[in-house]
Amino acid sequence: MQRRAFIGAAALAPFAAHLPALAQNGWPQRPVRWIVSSAAGSGPDILARYLADQLGRKWPQPVIVENRPGGQNVIGAQAAARSAPDGYTYYFATTAAMVTNVFTFKALPYDPAKDFAPVRLVGRSPFIIATAAGSPFKSLADVVAQAKANPGQVAIATEGPKQFSGMLADAVASMAGVKLNHVPYTKAPEALQDVVGGRTPLVCLPYAGIKAFLESGQVRALAVSTPRRLPDMPNVPALSETFPGFEYTGWNGLFAPAGTPADIVARVNRDLEAVVQQPEVAERIKSLGSLPETRMGVAEFEAFMKAERERWAGLVKTLGISAE
């Protein structure tokens, strides 16, 4: 019996190297899982569920979204990193999870660069600096002038000095040569209500979080963090118009555990690109406050990630942010 088993194993040996490719031919043969490290109902979660549903319609299997919130994305990222690299688990990630956590945590239980294989960038999320509709601030120049006249007295609502919106506020203040007073909020609606009520003069938040207040006319945008003005807000200056070359956007992207077969990664990249390029999908992504990335191959996403880590390393150093 042992001899027959040995002969059988030997006969199969030449095919072993081709198992990943063979598996890919019938992939997916069971439901695919996307881990999201944000709570259900959050911006990333809504976007992930929409795209997962679109992909599930293309594949013979559904894409199931699993929320693993908490720990500033650490819980979800760690769960995804430790998943089997078999092509059935992915991480729908934010910039914080894959880039800035490296600079704000002294130790992470996962390595964004080594534990994941980039699959595809989905969209970029601009940030907006805004004020109440009736505010005396009519431009970013007005804010800078007031901050220079009253150092440290002009308050701005952010998610905290080491969160994305807080780092943007500090970056703008640093370039303008002023100091702003952070008022940290854990929930965007609370920050916006205080701005609308006149308790805090300024707010800095992702476009997705502030979009409804802009559309209702309760707040007025002073600047957007993209390199160029947004088509939907042509009258709102880009920060690069005041600070040449400046760009500050978050993003959402899909990653696989390191070691996932390259042919499956390439397949997911192509299928996700086909989904994002559909006009109705692109419009839906925009409505959620993100700018869809209609073309990006795996190699391009890998290069993008390398450039992002280098760019953020420089920004964190400039702001003097230390890991905790």
Which of 165, 167, 170, 169 is closest to 206 using CA atoms?
Answer: 165
* Dihedral angle sign, alpha carbons of residues 106, 110, 116, 121: negative
Q: pLDDT over 90 for what percent of the chain? A: 77
- Work out the burial of residue 197: count CB atoms within 10 Å of its CB; fewer than 13 is exposed, 13-18 middle, 19 or more buried: exposed
pLDDT at 318: 83
Mean pLDDT value of segment 271-286:
96
Read off the pLDDT of residues 150-209 as tens digits, 9 standing for 90 and up: 999 999 999 888 788 898 999 999 999 999 999 999 888 899 999 999 999 999 999 988
Separation of alpha carbons 202 and 160, rounded Å: 14
Separation of alpha carbons 93 and 252, rounded Å: 6
3-state helix, strand, coil in the chain (%, to 5): 45, 20, 35
CB 119 within 8 A of CB 90: yes
Which of 264, 270, 272, 302 is closest to 86 using CA atoms?
Answer: 264
Domain 126-241 class, CATH top level: alpha beta
Just give the CATH number of 31-125+249-319. Answer: 3.40.190.150
Tokens at residue 288, please?
A: 């959620």
Q: Does 324 or 44 have the greater pLDDT score?
A: 44
Locate the domains of the chain by residue range: 31-125+249-319, 126-241
Q: Helix (H, G, I), strand (E, B), or coil: what is residue 63?
A: strand
Read off the pLDDT of residues 106-151 as tens digits, 9 standing for 90 and up: 999 999 999 999 999 999 999 999 999 999 999 999 999 999 999 9
**Topology agreement, domain 31-125+249-319 and domain 126-241:** yes
The b/e string for 29-57 (b: 16+ C-beta within 10 A; e otherwise) is eeebbbbbbbeeebbbbbbbbbbbebbbe
Q: Look up the pTM and report it.
A: 0.85
Gyration radius of the chain over CA positions: 22
On the question of pLDDT at 233 being above 60, the answer is yes
CB 206 within 8 A of CB 250: yes
